[in-house]
Structure 1
Amino acid sequence: MSTSDANDQTGSYVHAGKPFDRDMTYIPDRITVDARDGWPVEAGRYRLAVSRACPWANRTIISRRLLGLEDAISLAIAGPTHDKRSWTFDLDEGGVDPVLGYERLQQAYFARYPDYPRGITVPAMVDVPTRAVVTNDFQQITLDLATQWTALQREGAPDLYPEERRGEIDELNRWMLHRVNNGVYKVGFAGTQSDYEREYRELWAALDELEDRLSRSRYLMGPAITEADVRLFPTLVRFDLVYYSHFKANRQPLFTMPNLWNYTKDLFQTPGFGDTIDVEHIKEHYYAVQTDINPTRVVPLGPDPAPLIDPHDRDRFPTDTWGPGGTAPQPPLAAEVVDPAHTPLVVRGR
């Protein structure tokens, strides 16, 4: 998405009198086994630029972890805030990404498109030799990690996009994108009262459907994790932290919905999911950057994220979390461990 998951870089996302309309035009190039777009799958060639604050980038971080592609694809982590130009690598020493040599992700876009007219978005795959962006198509990136990078995946990597179920997964993902993942933004950035109320009802109708769906199986598609879970989790884990209050999606907190909340806790406690979440980066990004709806830029101290590591009840369902032959991923690389002060995973010594 663009630098605040909306349509531009400036911090201005609410357009009075208009509904929220996300620009869904992205660089369509793909990294594939057959190099159909000129970008072959190759270990060490590409760097995945992300921010832990962004839910769309969070998907790619999770997929990379679950599939064990850390050694094949390096990670450039931008800070949680930005200015009107670009995400910045202000977390790195000297404010410069150590591999690309850039201060701003914008530089990778301009290396390929000097007059790039759209938002400088994360996630983005960058070609290390040329230091130029390859693609920022967040929906395709995770599908390609699952299907094109199989030769470089770890032993025991789960099949997140099983061929026999791709039609079902695609249908559910399209629905979730418009009704839930982007639905919270349609609520939060609505330009009129009537737009807000319509999108609010649409969002909650969809969340009610998911609450019902998750009353019948441990994960969205049954006993095993799939691409659908990778796409839903980043929205759910941010819901009570920011969407409930900041986006006025406040019919009720997620923790009052037993299936959705226990599902969120379950995934948070699953290797590869919760260990990618930086609570402080998430809150700082939304509240400090989106000044149209939080002009003071005050970042709330709450809510307490510690309940994410409370016991859940999802093991009441038939379970094959990693699928046939699959295993849990290894712990994150030392350089990619979330600051312990920013995650509830260590709040109670877990």
Structure 2
Amino acid sequence: MLVNGVWSANWHPVQATDQQGGFVRQSSSFRNWITVSGEAGPTGEAGFKAEANRYHLYVALICPWASRTLIARELKGLSSIISMSVVEPFLTDNGWQFGGFAGATLDQVNHTTFIHEIYTLADVHYTGRATVPILWDKQRQTIVNNESADILRMLNSGFGSLANTQYDLYPAHLATQIDAFNDSIYHRLNNGVYRAGFATTQQAYDEAVDDVFNTLQTLEQHFASHQFAMGQQFSESDIRLFVTLIRFDLAYYGLFKCNLKLLADYPHLSRYVQNILNIPGVAKTVNIEHIKQGYYSIKDLNPNAIVPKGPILNFQLIQTETLK
């Protein structure tokens, strides 16, 4: 992590632990918002007006949080408005790194080698972890926001007429229901798999795994009679759920010891995931090789860096285009 702007230690996945040895996730530090007029959003300061070619998105294809923003960028038609850089999947001793791995890119905006250098460009005294996604302002030369939930919402509504109106990921009439659904799955599933994988005590692990599979069972029942999280309306809740489910059999089942069942054992959830993969633009945000290489490069969990050959997924990832 960075301490007063200096990279101080090798990368470590466990950000903090609670008194029971449970995994505690770091809060995001940059919380400004892009708005149509440039006025301040729910948090942060004003001055980030929606404009074409002003903003840049830094992502990792392994990362579910970053993938939330990638899907929104595609569905809202912002790929020609917001440029993008993709780090390599491997978690190095210096954190996320740009390079030549297939599907990754160089940093053609700030010409850095490591993501942590982006943070010190924004704040030379920054202390904290250097995470993705990052939404960067090329005009002001600073980080707008590094909280995926915020970025997801500003991509939905912050760019006004510059964005595609086909999808409204956070419609006002469903806002309360969406917030409740998001809250119901975040701790127990989205972050629950990490709580299991990075638990340092048996108690913390057992509690996390119980949360994960109780939630999966509840969702299996929900999708027996619902097309999407909100019924017939595709929303940001589906994005937030999908990015965890698509990684479940690839990484969380084995590496994170969430191995009571495979996602493939849940027929309604499996159908749900395939339905989302069939939405134009979604499949090209899913890179199986990055997901496997990235998770299995975590030395604390897989010191020999052996990447399994499987699993064989039942999903059809029809990719007619590539990310750009």
After TM superposition, the score normalised by the length of structure 2 is 0.88
1:217 counterpart (221, 226, 231): 226
Aligned partner letter, 1:172: F
Checking the alignment, whether the CA contact within 8 Å between 2:87 and 2:106 is kept in structure 1 is: no
Match of 1:86 in 2: 95
Which string of whole-angstrom CA distances, capped at 9 and with x for unpartnered residues, describes residues 51-110 of structure 1?
A: 111000001000000010111111111111132333122138997412322222222211
Checking the alignment, whether the CA contact within 8 Å between 2:181 and 2:237 is kept in structure 1 is: yes
Match of 2:5 in 1: none
Aligned counterparts, 1:1-350, within 5 A = 10-13=11-14, 18-35=21-38, 36=40, 37=45, 38-91=47-100, 96-154=106-164, 156-288=165-297, 290-305=298-313, 307-309=314-316, 332=321, 336=323
Aligned partner letter, 1:34: S
Deviation at 1:41, TM superposition (A): 1.1
Name the CA distance, whole Å, in 2 between partners of 1:127 and 1:9: 28
Name the CA distance, whole Å, in 1 between partners of 2:215 and 2:13: 27
Match of 2:6 in 1: none
Deviation at 1:259, TM superposition (A): 0.8
User: Residues 272, 249 of structure 1: CA spacing in aligned structure 2 closer, same or farther, 3 A cutoff?
Assistant: same
Checking the alignment, whether the CA contact within 8 Å between 1:47 and 1:128 is kept in structure 2 is: yes
Name the CA distance, whole Å, in 1 between partners of 2:105 and 2:149: 29
Q: Secondary structure at the match of 1:174?
A: helix
Identity of aligned residues (%): 34
Checking the alignment, whether the CA contact within 8 Å between 1:77 and 1:91 is kept in structure 2 is: no
Q: Secondary structure at the match of 2:310?
A: coil
Q: How many residues align?
A: 308
Q: Secondary structure at the match of 1:125?
A: strand
Which string of whole-angstrom CA distances, capped at 9 and with x for unpartnered residues, describes residues 149-207 of structure 1?
A: 131113x5211111111111011112211111001001111111111111111111111
Name the CA distance, whole Å, in 2 between partners of 1:275 and 1:95: 15
Deviation at 1:131, TM superposition (A): 3.7
Checking the alignment, whether the CA contact within 8 Å between 1:9 and 1:120 is kept in structure 2 is: no
Name the CA distance, whole Å, in 1 between partners of 2:10 and 2:155: 28
Deviation at 1:129, TM superposition (A): 2.9
Q: Secondary structure at the match of 2:181?
A: helix
- Specify every segment of 5 or more residues in structure 1 that has no aligned partner in the other structure, as ranges: 3-7, 311-329, 338-350
Name the CA distance, whole Å, in 1 between partners of 2:11 and 2:240: 26
User: Residues 76, 92 of structure 1: CA spacing in aligned structure 2 closer, same or farther, 3 A cutoff?
Assistant: farther
Aligned partner letter, 1:223: Q
Determine which structure has the larger helix proportion and give its number: 1
Name the CA distance, whole Å, in 2 between partners of 1:151 and 1:134: 20
| Aligned-residue RMSD, C-alpha | 2.5
Deviation at 1:269, TM superposition (A): 2.4
